[in-house]
């Protein structure tokens, strides 16, 4: 049997991050925060605007350096040798919000190949990776030869994500990868990220505001509140604390609220339903019905 | 003369020009009319022409052919003066997606005053309009704040206030909640509904969120630059398969009851829209089922 691939875990240890240090605007975006993203799973990172999500994303791949504390991959400080921080950026891929504005190459193919090219990989390996990343992001072969600027916004988004996937990072951080996409686009992008994670068995962190999406696509959820971890666990652990979520500016999926209303109306459905699929099967169970072929 | 419609489009066409001299049609022979004071949601997949349509209505873009009548004035006429166009643009305000790209001043109330100042309104009236606009979006207490201290939802409400201060007849929201967290979205949606109800401002809401669209009086679904569906939210969202065929979805509760009806044979009406209705229907079905079981046991 093939040996299970080791998946890297990444952590913040007592991290404080201040910006505009030495000016009257100096402010702590994060104050003594500790958290760990487990290896080999998809974690949904959620929190209200200003809760520190994007600062954390930039700390994880070394774009920002903690003012105090450490960022560690498998326990090892990424800033141990600051000269080698660019190596960390190959290991921790970061897809920004609205990454479609960052495309610049002449063709889609060259844009996706840019990252792996910078890593000094052989041509064959680059081609293999581009094809692989294109597969997970739904980029068709005819799109590869086009200019990124001929593509729609949703297609450009896929190219930008593919470009980071092609670097095959041990840890991939995506900031709102589905923001502004139509429902089908959301499903395709998030489904593609999940399929990619299941094949590579690497570590993925998705920043999102959508409880509905994260209930489906994330393995674990982490909720931030003013720069601290307010909860961490499975969808069940998170969504059973409705009051908590409300306090931090988030809410449970619409379907979860609906199931609670059914309970109140005297229909004995179980709580702990977070997706339409689960709700469907639970209602059938309570009614003693079976799905028709 | 009072016009019944704020916007009337007839056979509107628009293409983006490609580099090689060709044209890429985005709006194809579109005709529709928006009633004054109505709340219309516009849905459609990415690239379906929603935003282009909004920019045509706001006169940021000019149609290739067809006519567009705003507030009774044909804006496609070529004898309009600059001043006419200013006046027309003032009538149709627009709020965009990114809260960080729409504020220009360093103090909230100065930002709101920016529009009316450019219209040459006397200072005293500007003051009154700014105060009124702040009240309309529930942001009076933030009048002297810097926009940088505000949350995304608050910034969007300031952007809306800036438009209200120009006394528009209609506001187009182009995915104005897409970048907000759930609380910010709720704040902005509540503001939009209130402006429509209390101030009679016509609302065109472009959105990808089906739960926002169900709050409108009317839903227009765009597909490939044409109108695919145009009806009440109740009737539009009962067409689950048609919506899914153009890359859209229905609200989660609608999705659930539709599956119960079509895949499991529950006798549920096809046009359930609000979750309270769905609860009632399922409750009745459940009680009937229990009665049946009780009788059988006897």
Q: Are A65 and A12 in contact (CB under 8 A)?
A: no
At A4 the pLDDT is 57
What does chain A come to in residues?
293
Domain boundaries, chain B: 5-249, 251-298
Q: How far apart are CA A62 and CA A82, in angstroms?
A: 9
Which of B210, B256, B286 lies closest to A287 in CB terms? B286
Task: Say if the Cβ atoms of B264 and A261 lie within 8 Å.
Answer: no
Does A180 lie in the same domain as A258? no
Q: How far apart are CA B33 and CA B37, in angstroms?
A: 12
Please give the DSSP secondary-structure letter assigned to residue B265.
-
Domain B5-249 CATH superfamily:
P-loop containing nucleotide triphosphate hydrolases (3.40.50.300)
Does A291 lie in the same domain as A226? no
Count of CB contacts below 8 A, A vs B? 125
Residues of A in contact with B182 (CB under 8 A): 209, 211, 249-251
Nearest-10 Cα torsion for A180, A184, A186, A188: -140
Does A180 lie in the same domain as A91? yes
Residues of A in contact with B267 (CB under 8 A): none
Residue ranges of chain B with pLDDT lower than 70? 1-2
Q: Which residues of B touch A (CB under 8 A)?
A: 44-47, 97, 151-153, 175, 178-184, 208, 210-211, 244, 247-249, 251-253, 255-256, 259-260, 263-266, 275-276, 278-280, 282-283, 285-287, 289
Task: Say if the Cβ atoms of A180 and B256 lie within 8 Å.
Answer: no
Please give the DSSP secondary-structure letter assigned to residue B46.
T
At A293 the pLDDT is 47
Where would I find the H helices in chain A?
A: 53-60, 85-91, 108-118, 123-137, 141-144, 153-165, 183-200, 211-217, 235-239, 242-247, 254-264, 276-287
Residue ranges of chain A with pLDDT lower than 70? 1-5, 290-293
Q: How many CB atoms lie within 10 A of CB A71?
A: 23
Chain position carrying tokens 């429509």: B196
Does A16 lie in the same domain as A82? yes
Tokens of A152: 């729609």
Residues of A in contact with B249 (CB under 8 A): 183-184
Tokens of A163: 């470009």
* CA within 13 Å, CB half, B105: 16
Q: How many domains does chain A have?
A: 2
Searching chain A, which residue's CA lies closest to the CA of residue B176? A180
Question: Domain range for residue A269?
Answer: 253-293
CA nearest to A44, candidates A195, A166, A218: A218
Q: CATH number, domain at A190? A: 3.40.50.300
Does A197 lie in the same domain as A274? no
Q: How far apart are CA A258 and CA A267, in angstroms?
A: 12
Residues of B in contact with A54 (CB under 8 A): none
The verdict on residue A125 lying in a domain is no
Does A289 lie in the same domain as A257? yes
Q: How far apart are CA A191 and CA B117, in angstroms?
A: 49
Task: Say if the Cβ atoms of B151 and A50 lie within 8 Å.
Answer: yes
**Test the A interface: residue of B101, B146, B156, B247 with most A CBs within 10 Å:** B247
The verdict on residue A34 lying in a domain is yes
Which of A47, A255, A292 lies closest to B253 in CB terms? A255
Task: Say if the Cβ atoms of B151 and A276 lie within 8 Å.
Answer: no
Residues of B in contact with A256 (CB under 8 A): none
Q: How far apart are CA B56 and CA B64, in angstroms?
A: 10
Q: Are B100 and A49 in contact (CB under 8 A)?
A: no
The verdict on residue A186 lying in a domain is yes
| Residue-wise DSSP of A145-197 | TS-GGGS-HHHHHHHHHHHHHTT--SEEEEESTTTT--HHHHHHHHHHHHHHH
Does A292 lie in the same domain as A181? no
Q: Are B154 and B142 in contact (CB under 8 A)?
A: yes
Residues of A in contact with B183 (CB under 8 A): 48, 249-251
């Amino acid at each position: 049997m093939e040996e299970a691939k080791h998946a890297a875990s990444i952590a913040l240890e007592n991290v404080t991050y201040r910006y505009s240090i030495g000016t009257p605007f100096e402010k702590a975006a994060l104050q003594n925060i500790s958290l760990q993203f487990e290896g080999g799973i998809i974690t949904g990172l959620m929190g209200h605007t200003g809760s520190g999500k994007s600062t954390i994303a930039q700390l994880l791949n070394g774009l920002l350096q903690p003012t105090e504390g450490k960022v560690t991959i498998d326990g090892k400080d990424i800033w141990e040798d600051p000269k080698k921080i660019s190596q960390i950026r190959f290991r921790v891929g970061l897809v920004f919000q609205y990454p479609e504005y960052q495309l610049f190459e002449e063709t889609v193919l060259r844009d996706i190949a840019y990252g792996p090219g910078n890593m000094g990989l052989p041509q064959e390996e680059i081609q293999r990776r581009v094809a692989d990343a294109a597969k997970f992001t739904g980029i068709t072969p005819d799109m590869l030869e086009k200019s990124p600027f001929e593509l729609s916004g949703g297609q450009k988004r896929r190219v930008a994500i593919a470009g980071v996937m092609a670097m095959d990072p041990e840890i991939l951080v995506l900031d709102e990868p589905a923001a502004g996409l139509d429902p089908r686009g959301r499903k395709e992008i998030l489904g593609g990220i999940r399929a990619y994670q299941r094949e590579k068995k690497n570590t993925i962190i998705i920043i999102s505001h959508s409880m509905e999406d994260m209930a489906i696509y994330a393995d674990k959820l982490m909720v931030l509140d003013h720069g601290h971890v307010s909860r961490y666990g499975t969808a069940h652990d998170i969504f059973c604390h409705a009051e908590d979520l409300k306090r931090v500016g988030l809410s449970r999926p619409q379907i979860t609220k609906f199931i609670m209303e059914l309970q109140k109306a005297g229909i004995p459905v179980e709580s702990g339903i977070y997706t339409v699929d689960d709700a469907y099967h639970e209602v059938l169970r309570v009614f003693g019905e079976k799905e028709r072929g | 003369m009072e016009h019944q419609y704020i916007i009337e489009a007839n056979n509107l066409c628009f293409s983006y020009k490609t580099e090689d001299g060709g044209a890429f049609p985005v709006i194809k022979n579109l005709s529709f009319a928006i009633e004054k004071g109505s709340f219309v949601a516009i849905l459609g997949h990415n690239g379906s022409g929603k935003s282009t349509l909004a920019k045509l209505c706001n006169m940021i873009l000019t149609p290739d052919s067809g006519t567009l009548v705003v507030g009774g004035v044909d804006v496609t006429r070529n004898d309009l003066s600059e001043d006419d166009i200013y006046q027309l643009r003032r009538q149709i305000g627009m709020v965009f997606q990114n809260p960080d790209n729409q504020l220009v001043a360093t103090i909230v109330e100065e930002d709101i005053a920016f529009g009316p100042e450019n219209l040459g309104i006397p200072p005293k009236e500007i003051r009154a309009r700014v105060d009124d606009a702040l009240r309309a979006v529930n942001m009076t207490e933030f009048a002297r704040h810097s926009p940088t201290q505000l949350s995304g939802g608050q910034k969007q409400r300031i952007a809306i206030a800036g438009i209200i201060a120009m006394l528009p007849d209609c506001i187009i929201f182009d995915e104005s909640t897409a970048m907000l967290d759930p609380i910010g979205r709720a704040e902005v949606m509540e503001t939009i509904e209130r402006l429509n109800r209390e101030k009679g401002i016509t609302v065109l809401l472009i959105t990808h969120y089906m739960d926002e669209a169900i709050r409108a009086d009317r839903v227009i679904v765009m597909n490939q630059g044409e109108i695919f569906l145009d009806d009440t939210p109740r009737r539009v969202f009962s067409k689950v398969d048609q919506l899914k065929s153009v890359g859209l979805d229905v609200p989660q509760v609608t999705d659930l009851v539709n599956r119960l009806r079509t895949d499991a044979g529950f006798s549920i009406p096809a046009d359930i829209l609000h979750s309270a209705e769905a609860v009632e229907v399922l409750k009745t079905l459940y009680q009937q089922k229990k009665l049946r079981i009780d009788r059988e046991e006897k």
